[in-house]
Amino acid sequence: MSIMSSLKYHFEEDREYISRQLWISSEPITLLGLRTLVNFPQSLTMVREQLHTSDDVDHTTQDRLKGIGHNVSDCTLDEIITEILDGMLLAIHEPSGTYISIIPVAQPINRSVAVPLTENVVRGSSSAFNEDIGTNVGLLRKHINSSDLQIATYRFGEVTKNCVILSYLHTTIDPTLLRSIINAIESNLHKDISNVQELSRMFGFSDFTLVTRYNTTELPQSAARALKNGRAVLFIERLPFALVLPSLVSDLFVIADDSNHPRVFAVMLSFIRILGALITLIIPGLYVALVSVNPDVLRFELAHSIARSRVDVPYPAIVETLLLLFVLELILEAIIRLPPSIGPTLTMVGGIVLGQAVVEAKLVSSLLIIVLAATTISNATVVGYQNALTIRLFKYVLLILSAIFGVLGLLFGIVIICSYLAGVKSLGIPYLQLKYPKGE
């Protein structure tokens, strides 16, 4: 069975599959593609014009056809099918049996470059990655106009083909890190990679890790900064963000926009973010420790004021803290899920009304409202949504230990967290390295 017949048999149930025929110099050329990916009227016109403009040149139609695409005559049937599924226009020169893959006029199914949705930009480019992987790579190249930038494309999956692009600067990335990434990719090409969890398993990251081993960003300038600092950037087809490998502790407090501020201001902003992370981690546990276990460390006036605010609260401090924290977690999740037109207003009004109601009902103390409001605001200063989730999770570890052992439990929890972070590695790179990842 010929390849053309095999293609017709493969796509016989697919109504999007189209076959059209052109005659150039009395020689038939068959064009194949998918109507949802290829604009056939414009693509046929483009091919006809490009072939006819070379009529005065002393070349055969077959040679002219090779000049407008790349030859796939030696490819297997699966590889030719992949070309069609990728949105390419397949041209078949029937007299010679030559198969040419041509970049067509595509159907306008991709959104244009938009502003970032999950990361705010103060001083920097407002362009953001979108679902089209080619557009993402183009945005990255605009920010790094260098011959050192290497782009490697990989095809994953046996049934569902998906594209993953690896980018790095070969003069700055650590060879050991690069070798680890490439080995992990090339040894798992048979797996389907369509989301970040599957990519994490490919690299051997645990599903139960408390610290993200990669950072996600939708800002081209953040991806460019990571490349200059010796890291790798991955793009997964149909995902509107880039993945930066490996993740380092400095990612919690430093962003690419800081480079557009004077050095003093950049350091001050990083210090504020560090302070915000510490407040988020420590303050809820410290409140519970001082109220329920170690009130004797406070001055009498402060201890008396706190005790008076809780005089009618029927629960222990840990219960009221967990209750209100759970409500705040619901509000934060609702802000993300609700429509942008009503989400912030609804959650803000609901939070204010609910907070006032629980205080008046003597279910929680007024001081706890202040403590948890400061905690929630401080958590937003940490760079990156996933990093903020890590801080929110560690907060509960310190809270439980503080409720059991008081201030000593809080200090013990801090030691546990620091020890855990010291042992975290991503592709052989310690998490506590600050800027330039180097393998051990």
**248-269, pLDDT tens digit by residue?**
998 899 888 888 889 999 999 9
- Confidence band, pLDDT 50/70/90 cuts, at residue 440: low
Residue 14 neighbours by CB distance under 10 Å: 12
Instruction: Report the pLDDT value the prediction gives residue 346, as an integer from 0 to 100.
Output: 72
Name which residue leads in pLDDT, 152 or 122.
152
Q: What's the pTM value of the predicted model, to 2 decimals? A: 0.80
- What burial letters (b/e) apply to 357-389, b meaning 16+ CB within 10 Å? ebbeeebbbebbbebbeebbebbebbbbeebbe
Instruction: Report the pLDDT value the prediction gives residue 1, as an integer from 0 to 100.
Output: 56
Name which residue leads in pLDDT, 434 or 46.
46
Mean pLDDT of 54-78: 74
Taking CA atoms, 303 is separated from 269, 279, 307, 372, 424, in Å, by 34, 21, 6, 19, 40
**Nearest alpha carbon to residue 234 among 175, 166, 186:** 166
- Confidence band, pLDDT 50/70/90 cuts, at residue 421: very high
6-10, 198-202, 385-389, 429-433, range with the lowest pLDDT: 6-10
- Confidence band, pLDDT 50/70/90 cuts, at residue 393: very high
Mean pLDDT of 150-176: 88
Instruction: Report the pLDDT value the prediction gives residue 53, as an integer from 0 to 100.
Output: 67
Q: Is residue 312 scored above 70 in pLDDT?
A: yes
Mean pLDDT of 317-332: 87
Instruction: Report the pLDDT value the prediction gives residue 118, as an integer from 0 to 100.
Output: 78
Instruction: Report the pLDDT value the prediction gives residue 242, as an integer from 0 to 100.
Output: 93
119-133, 169-183, 411-425, range with the lowest pLDDT: 119-133
In angstroms, how far is the first alpha carbon of the chain from the final one? 55
Instruction: Report the pLDDT value the prediction gives residue 408, as an integer from 0 to 100.
Output: 93
Instruction: Report the pLDDT value the prediction gives residue 233, as an integer from 0 to 100.
Output: 95
Instruction: Report the pLDDT value the prediction gives residue 54, as an integer from 0 to 100.
Output: 54
Residue 300 neighbours by CB distance under 10 Å: 9
- Confidence band, pLDDT 50/70/90 cuts, at residue 57: low
| Inter-residue long-range contacts of 109-114, CB under 8 Å, 24+ positions, other chains counted | 109/36, 109/37, 110/135, 113/139
- Confidence band, pLDDT 50/70/90 cuts, at residue 409: very high
- The DSSP code sequence of 14-65 is -TTEEEEEEEETTEEEEEEEETTTB-HHHHHHHHHHHHHTTTTSS--HHHHH
Burial bucket for residue 184 (CB in 10 Å: 0-12, 13-18, 19+): middle
**Mean pLDDT, the chain, as a whole number?**
85
- Confidence band, pLDDT 50/70/90 cuts, at residue 162: confident
Instruction: Report the pLDDT value the prediction gives residue 58, as an integer from 0 to 100.
Output: 60
Q: Is residue 32 scored above 80 in pLDDT?
A: yes
Residue at token pair 């992990």: 184
Residue 191 neighbours by CB distance under 10 Å: 14
Give CA–CA dist 370/78, Å, rounded. 62
Domain ranges in the chain? 3-102, 133-247, 259-430
Instruction: Report the pLDDT value the prediction gives residue 204, as an integer from 0 to 100.
Output: 87
- Torsion angle in degrees (nearest 10) through CA of 52, 57, 59, 62: -20
- Confidence band, pLDDT 50/70/90 cuts, at residue 28: confident
Retrieve residue 209's tokens.
Answer: 């890790």
Give CA–CA dist 333/119, Å, rounded. 17
- Confidence band, pLDDT 50/70/90 cuts, at residue 135: confident
Instruction: Report the pLDDT value the prediction gives residue 190, as an integer from 0 to 100.
Output: 86
Contact 143, 125 (CB under 8 A): yes
Mean pLDDT of 218-236: 92
